Amino acid sequence: MTFINMIYLDNAATTKIDPKVKKTMEPYFFEFFGNASSLHFGGLKARQAVDEAQAKIADFLRCQAKEVYFTSGATESDNWAILGLTRAFKRQKNDFKPHIIISQIEHDAILAPAKELQREGVEVTFLAVDKNGLVDVKKVSQAIKSNTILVSIMYANNEIGTVQPIKEIGKIIKEENKKRKNKIYFHTDATQAVACLDCNVEKLGVDLLSLSAHKIYGPKGVGILYIKNGTPIEPIMLGGGQQNNKRSGTYNVAGIVGLGRAVELLLNKKVINLEVKKIKQLRDYLVKEIKNKIPRTIVTGDIKNRLPGNASFIFAGAEGESILLMLSNTGIAVSTGSACSSGSLAPSHVLVAMGVKPELAHGSIRVSIGRFNTKKDIDIIIKKLPPIIERLRKMSPLQ
């Protein structure tokens, strides 16, 4: 089985490395393979490469280079933000019971550490979302208490593509912080947003931001956590003391170089704006055609505040994993939020939080269009998907 000539429409899951990124990474596998911490010549070039990548990312986020910390990916960055900041507070004040606010539709990499903190005695508010998966800024404000120390809301949701009002939430927190001694810190998981939305940390008003390389046409296994100067945070990765003792572990030099280059490509606003426009056009075309060709189709998520490449559907009377497998058989890769495809057999927590009934959530399919998709790709899925849905509906005991 090969992946060539197969239509990849699951860019929200991961992306192909951009050829420019691959080229920039290559010297760091065989020529400049040294450990960036080594004091000899082997380490020098590696160290330089790490510094350069760090500078590029700082440029993109409009922050200082030393505020950019490399991790193994967004999962680690999310864990670090949630656990590291909260534990720093707990250590400072022994009898203080901190409170954190997150949304119900956060990625598991935020939900899991938050639940872990609950077990450690921390108060957690899981904010509800509306039927389109949007967080209400007023509800964030209402949830804030005297012991609140952290708010974490994802910039854009991976399943339904809804873009959250991060700037507005940032403003609320800033206002709140003017009237209180215990500052509230604001984190956002920007993983899905980086490729197409503005990530200027000042404008967003965030103290912490996670991002990952493999969602932006870079390699898997590397990401960053932006930590604003002065943010109290403990390390969760202990060891050799790299990155100012904040995150130990040998620098993934080639990966970091790839990440830096992937981010650098995003700095070309003109190119990226055209790319976003193209992706959005393809997505809108797909949605229109699918709604026309397949009866009983529901489009989930906010129509307006949405990632340009994300299209998420529910096809009543057909099950998501089966749709996915049949599409895969025809050479098309997409994703599903169906319970049957999850290890736990629970339907997508995002769809549940939006109020989608379990029986409908089973018929969910996500298409995520990316940099390398063409109109031909979309025409092919428009052609192949309707007969698949028809076939599955015919096979069903419910007619």
User: Least Å distance between CB 336 and another protein?
Assistant: 9
- Whichever of 243 and 297 has its CB closer to another protein, that residue is 297
Residue 121 near another protein by CB under 8 A = no
Q: Which of 73, 317, 337, 370 binds another protein (CB under 8 A)?
A: 317
Residue 338 near another protein by CB under 8 A = yes
Q: Which of 189, 207, 319, 377 binds another protein (CB under 8 A)?
A: 319
Residue 395 near another protein by CB under 8 A = yes
The piece of 157-165, 184-192, 276-284, 325-333 that touches another protein (CB under 8 A) is: 325-333
Half-sphere exposure of 183 (CA within 13 A, CB side): 10
The DSSP element (H or E) to which 258 belongs, if any, is helix 253-266
Within 8 A by CB and 6+ apart from 152, the residues are 78, 81, 82, 100, 101, 102, 106, 110, 114, 186, 187, 188, 189, 208
Q: Which of 277, 340, 375, 387 binds another protein (CB under 8 A)?
A: 340
- Whichever of 116 and 321 has its CB closer to another protein, that residue is 321
What tokens appear for 326 in the block?
A: 């049949």
208: phi then psi, degrees, rounded to nearest 5: -140, 140
Residue 392 near another protein by CB under 8 A = yes
- Whichever of 2 and 244 has its CB closer to another protein, that residue is 2
- Whichever of 121 and 343 has its CB closer to another protein, that residue is 343
340 is catalytic: yes
Residue 397 near another protein by CB under 8 A = yes
Radius of gyration, alpha carbons of the chain: 22
- Whichever of 192 and 341 has its CB closer to another protein, that residue is 341
Q: Which of 362, 370, 371, 381 binds another protein (CB under 8 A)?
A: 362
The piece of 52-60, 95-103, 129-137, 319-327 that touches another protein (CB under 8 A) is: 319-327
Long-range contact set of residues 283-290: C-beta below 8 Å, sequence gap at least 24? 283/308, 283/309, 283/310, 283/311, 283/367, 283/369, 285/375, 285/378, 286/311, 286/367, 286/369, 286/378, 286/381, 286/382, 287/311, 289/382, 290/382, 290/385, 290/386
Neighbours of 261 (CB within 10 A): 24
Within 8 A by CB and 6+ apart from 347, the residues are 337, 338, 339, 358, 361, 362
CA distance 134 to 142: 16
Residue 346 near another protein by CB under 8 A = no
Residue 6 near another protein by CB under 8 A = no
User: Least Å distance between CB 398 and another protein?
Assistant: 6
Which residues belong to the active site?
Answer: 340
The site for another protein (CB under 8 A) is made up of 317-322, 325-326, 329, 338-341, 343-345, 347, 358-359, 362, 392, 395-398
